[in-house]
Amino acid sequence: MLASWNPDQVPDDSLGQLVYRSHLLGGDRSVCNWGGGNTSTKGSATDYRGRTVDVLWVKGSGSDLATATPAHFAALALEPLLELPERYQDMDDQAMVDYLMHAALHPGGVRPSIETLLHAFLPALHVDHTHPDAIVALCTAAEGEAWAKELYGDRAIWIPYRRPGFALARQVAEALRAHPTAEVVLLAKHGLVTWGETAASCYASTQKAIADAEHYLQKRSRPWTPPVSHRTSDERWDLYRQIAPWLRGRLGRHGRVVLSFQTSDAVLGFLGDSHCLEMAREGAACPDHLVRTGRVPLILSAEASTGWDALRTELDQSLARFEEATSAEFAACAHHNETPDPPTPRVILIPNLGIVTAGGSLLDARLTADLFDRAMSVISLLRRAGAEYRPLGAQDSFDVQYWPLERYKLTLRPREGELSHQVAFITGGAGGIGRAIARAMVRRGAHVVLADIDGAAAARVEGEICAEFGEGRAIATAMDVTKEETVAAAYGAAVAAYGGIDIIVANAGIASSQALTSTTLADWERTLSILGTGYFLTARDGARILQEQETGGSILFIASKNAVSAGRNIAAYGAAKAAELHLARCLAEELGAHGVRVNVINPDAVISGSGIWSSQWKEERARNYQISVDDLPAYYRERTILKVNIQPEDVAEAACFLVSDRASKTTGAMLPVDGGVSTAFPR
């Protein structure tokens, strides 16, 4: 439900009121899709000549009404826009965009909405264009026009479907001149246009139009009880975790993807209704959905989710058919030398299980899920009302999906990094080196799983990363690398969150410095358990996921200079690190056939931010070298060839290199990051 208009919170200026109104509209996703809809206001401003001119402020292309700031609205001189209907009978898209940019009050600002002229040509000072579920349902029903006449009477103008642009804007303006008492415009298969002479009255008009449509559809609704799955939520998630890595790999053949999974009573009710599924096969509920969701989802049978084998078999067959049909549809509809999107589905509906969505990032996958949630709402409204669903057909959908003005929004996404689309699983993720590696990989586009025995510390790093880089870019999970059940649970959390993994960084550590004769069996076994068994379990369980995906991957061990350089009073630590090194070499030999590379970094004396170096280890090493604890950094610096201290960020840079495509032909390698310690030179 739309929030109430609060006069006490409304700014005095026109642009401020526009931002306030936009936030209210965008705050309800049943009214405005993410990034969809547009709002405008007309007023006056000073141009570069110092003259006062009439201005149209309109939302910029690709921005979101819920979070828009004044900077997200384009300011255009209104007079040249109002001349267009007299000067042109028609205007192609590129000419329209060029003209709008020339009319901009501030060159170099945001690109105006593709529906700018719709706002300009309407005489009202304030205009809203939204995609409310109830209105979209009305506009995609075969009976929609008749129902609109019954509901709104002469208050509404019905406009047959036409793609946004100059022609649609002109048509709407001419229709309103012919029916000046109309209060709303309904765009078939699209959405709603409302207006007002004040920001408040415009918002009220939008509220009323939506409420009227909701009430009308409610009155027409027939009893309908969506079926409910008898499988528990835990059972559904368990089955999803089993299938997700294979599915992610299958969908990632044209480029890696991140998966999101939704399962709830509402989702299962929709998926359990064959009529709803048949409607979903007809196409997208709103043109705004197409760039992210594609025209249709992949829909499996109710029998598919009876178990792992049945689900995988049907998915394999259905994906092949879907890709073939998508490629054929592209060939039939293309007409401007368009480059096809990957033919894989972005939305997969699995009755009795849930909905899987795919995207280049978790945010993309979640936005696709949110948009399909709106489609489910529209279809459910029509299902209850007993209406026939008439969305855009294949050609019209293609013309929107591949429309340069619509695809421009995709160019506004953050630039991809060399690790975009990938998921990194990092043990010891809350420590100095683990945290630095996680941050460096996220900066390069990756999502990260922070696995650490200190779950609270890992959660703090998760919060830090998500606050800086965006929600969902990191998750934390408590994990003891020596216990099989916690390792399996941590990987399960990674699969549940992202669908799988691509990079494994075994970094969990412990250190002790004792003379051989003072080393207890418990000390020895604990050190080898964490640094030996822990690395084995991390690599083993992670390799199972990488092999299931069949898209390759990278495993990286953070070992130590002591893996190759002997030292006094570190028998347990040195032996365990040497074991790590040889384990990595064995895994490189074994996993290469699966496209999985395994490499090792040997750091030395990374004191900053380290949990190990804040423990007894620091005192033990100082005592070993017969120096004070405060002199340790200088001691380590002076013993290197380059006379440098090693920071966690130095190890992180090396890690990013080894797991990236820059090192795509490197496996079984050992990379020292120690400032130059000659006794640790690889031999």
Task: Tokens for 32, please give them.
Answer: 């405005």
Nearest to 451 by CA among 422, 480, 471, 423: 480
Could you tell me whether strands 184-187 and 156-159 are parallel, antiparallel, or unpaired per DSSP bridges?
parallel
Instruction: With a cut of 80, say whether residue 629 has pLDDT above it.
Output: no
Tell me the C-alpha distance between 491 and 477, whole Å: 9
In order of 231, 234, 260, the CA distances from 269 in angstroms are 13, 17, 19
Tell me the C-alpha distance between 630 and 644, whole Å: 16
Phi, psi of 297 (to 5 degrees): -85, 165
Q: What is the reported pLDDT for 89? A: 83
Place of tokens 């009876």: 306
Tell me the C-alpha distance between 314 and 298, whole Å: 11
The string of pLDDT tens digits covering residues 140-151 is 999 999 999 999
Give the pLDDT band (50/70/90) at residue 283.
very high
In this structure, of 399-413, 460-474, 495-509, 622-636, the range with the lowest mean pLDDT score is 622-636
Q: Is 505 exposed, middle or buried (0-12, 13-18, 19+ CB in 10 A)?
A: buried
Instruction: Write the single-letter amino acid at 271.
Output: L
Determine which one of 535, 573, 625, 636 is catalytic. Answer: 573
Tell me the C-alpha distance between 10 and 64, whole Å: 19
Nearest to 31 by CA among 198, 165, 154, 203: 203
Q: What is the reported pLDDT for 619? A: 67
Q: Where are the alpha helices (DSSP H) in 431-549?
A: 432-443, 455-469, 484-498, 521-528, 534-549
Instruction: With a cut of 60, say whether residue 670 has pLDDT above it.
Output: yes
Asked whether 435 and 443 are in contact (CB, 8 A), the reply is no
Question: Mean pLDDT across the stretch 497-502?
Answer: 98
Q: Give exposure, 152-172, as e/b (b: 16+ Cβ within 10 Å).
A: beeebbbbebbbbbbbbbbbb
Q: What is the reported pLDDT for 56? A: 96
CA quadruple 613, 617, 621, 622: dihedral sign: positive
Per cent of the chain over pLDDT 70 is 97
Asked whether 671 and 658 are in contact (CB, 8 A), the reply is yes
Q: What is the reported pLDDT for 407? A: 77
Instruction: With a cut of 70, say whether residue 612 has pLDDT above it.
Output: no
The string of pLDDT tens digits covering residues 204-256 is 999 999 999 999 999 999 887 777 777 889 999 999 999 999 999 999 998 99
Place of tokens 């009155």: 219
For residue 583, the surrounding DSSP H or E stretch is: helix 571-591
Q: Where are the domains of the chain?
A: 7-220, 233-412, 423-605+646-675
In this structure, of 209-213, 488-492, 616-620, 650-654, the range with the lowest mean pLDDT score is 616-620
Instruction: Write the single-letter amino acid at 128.
Output: D
579: left (phi over 0), alpha (psi -120 to 50) or beta: alpha
Question: Mean pLDDT across the stretch 309-338?
Answer: 93
For residue 19, the surrounding DSSP H or E stretch is: helix 14-26
- Dihedral, CA atoms, 210, 214, 217, 219, nearest 10 degrees? -130
Residue 112: which residues within 8 A CB-CB, separation 6 or more? 58, 60, 61, 74, 76, 100, 101, 104
Candidate CATH numbers 2.30.29, 2.60.40, 1.10.287, 3.40.225; the one for domain 233-412: 3.40.225
The full 3-state SS of 33-58, as one line of letters, equals CCCCCEEEEEEEEECCCCCEEEEEEE
Per cent of the chain over pLDDT 90 is 76
Output the pTM of the full model: 0.92
The string of pLDDT tens digits covering residues 154-164 is 999 999 999 99
Q: What is the reported pLDDT for 682? A: 81
Tell me the C-alpha distance between 569 and 561, whole Å: 15
The string of pLDDT tens digits covering residues 371-391 is 999 999 999 999 999 999 999
Domains 7-220 and 423-605+646-675 fall in the same CATH topology: no
In this structure, of 81-90, 446-455, 517-526, the range with the lowest mean pLDDT score is 81-90
Task: Tokens for 323, please give them.
Answer: 């890709």
Q: What is the reported pLDDT for 490? A: 98
Residue 548: which residues within 8 A CB-CB, separation 6 or more? 245, 246, 249, 500
Which CATH homologous superfamily contains domain 423-605+646-675?
NAD(P)-binding Rossmann-like Domain (3.40.50.720)
The string of pLDDT tens digits covering residues 422-480 is 999 999 999 999 999 999 999 999 999 999 999 999 999 999 999 999 999 999 999 99
Asked whether 509 and 428 are in contact (CB, 8 A), the reply is yes
Fold of 7-220: L-fuculose-1-phosphate Aldolase (3.40.225)
Question: Mean pLDDT across the stretch 525-550?
Answer: 97
Asked whether 161 and 172 are in contact (CB, 8 A), the reply is no
Q: Residue 565 gets which letter from DSSP? A: S
Instruction: With a cut of 80, say whether residue 187 has pLDDT above it.
Output: yes
Q: Is 608 exposed, middle or buried (0-12, 13-18, 19+ CB in 10 A)?
A: middle
Query: Is 203 known to be catalytic?
Result: no
Q: What is the reported pLDDT for 610? A: 61
Give the pLDDT band (50/70/90) at residue 620.
low
Across the strands, what pairs with 597?
A: 554
Q: Calculate the average pLDDT of the chain.
A: 92
The string of pLDDT tens digits covering residues 501-521 is 999 999 998 877 788 999 999
Q: What is the reported pLDDT for 618? A: 63
The string of pLDDT tens digits covering residues 640-649 is 899 988 899 9
Instruction: With a cut of 80, say whether residue 85 has pLDDT above it.
Output: yes
